[in-house]
Amino acid sequence: MAEYLVLIYGDEKAWETADEAATKAVMDGHMAFGEKHGAVIRGGNALESTSTATSIRKGASGEFSVTDGPFSETKEGLGGYYVIEAPDLDAALLIAKDIPAEFGGVEVRPIRVFD
C-alpha cells in the first residue's frame, strides 16, 4: 500500500461569506468522509487561512528572506489535507472524490518513499 497526500484547496472569500448552513454541510461532509474512510486515513488537519502564512526563501548568497503571506499567490488557498493509504493512484482518487471541497477542489500526490 502506498500513501497519498490529498491537498484541499478552496476560495477563502467564499468561506468568509458562507452561511452557517453551508459551513455545517462541509463539516458534516468531513465527518462522513472520516466515518467512511477511517481505515485508510493516516492523518489530516484543517489549516488557518493563507493570511496567517509566513514564507521563507533562501537566497543565492545563503541569506534568508522571511515574508508574511503564502509562498505563492493563488485564487484558491490550501485549507487542509489528508494523508491516506491506498493500493494505487486510482484507488486514492476514488477516496479523494469523497472529500467535500465545495469552494474548490483537491489535489492528490503520492508520498515519496526514500529507501
Per-residue model confidence as pLDDT tens for the chain (115 residues): 999 999 999 999 998 899 999 999 999 999 999 999 999 999 999 999 999 999 999 999 999 999 988 887 788 899 999 999 999 999 999 999 999 999 999 999 999 999 8
Question: How many beta carbons lie within 10 A of that of residue 3, not counting itself?
Answer: 16
Taking the complete model, does pTM exceed 0.85, yes or no?
yes
In this structure, what are the phi and psi dihedrals at residue 111, rounded to the nearest 5 degrees? -85, 125
Domains annotated on the chain, with CATH: 2-110 (3.30.70.1060)
